[in-house]
Amino acid sequence: MSSLFAFLHHVAAFTLVSALAIEFVLLKEKLSTTIARRLLLADLMFGVSAAAVLFVGLLRVFFFEKGAAYYFTNLPFLAKLALFIAIGVLSAGPTKEFLSWRSALKKGQAPITPPEKIRGLRRVLHIEIALTAALVLCAVLMARGVGSIG
């Protein structure tokens, strides 16, 4: 069972990273109805995969791996959790913006978003990508037993 949940956790994590990359690439394009719809879909994929990462990850911590006592005394795990939360908080801005486009899209119109707003969204995504890379580093350190304080 542990292997199944490790697999599910990794699939969700890779989906999350893919969705983030898709959002980043799509924001380079001229904002059209098609691009806006794809961004909404990618953001939904990001949110669903983040929820799956969290849910499956918590199941692994409490039921399928080394136990909560191990993880909550491991500095890379705590840093990984903090980074995950930071990414989630940062992602709220782009999600709010993308969701604000729904009324224009329902009318068949491309959302009107100033270039500086798009640059700001890309900046946030840059930060999310960098934090995700740091999160992966923490996952590797944690898996190798680095940073246990207990």
* Residue 146, pLDDT score: 87
Number of Cα atoms under 13 Å in the Cβ half of residue 20: 24
- The structural domains of the chain, ordered by start, are 2-143 (1.20.120)
Q: Position of tokens 């697999």?
A: 7
Q: Which one, of 85, 78, 90, lies nearest residue 127 by Cα? A: 90
* Residue 150, pLDDT score: 62
Question: pLDDT of 58-81, one tens digit each?
Answer: 999 999 888 899 899 999 999 999
The pTM of this model reads: 0.91
Percentage of the residues of the chain whose pLDDT score is greater than 70: 99
Question: pLDDT of 16-62, one tens digit each?
Answer: 999 999 999 999 999 999 999 999 999 999 999 999 999 999 999 99
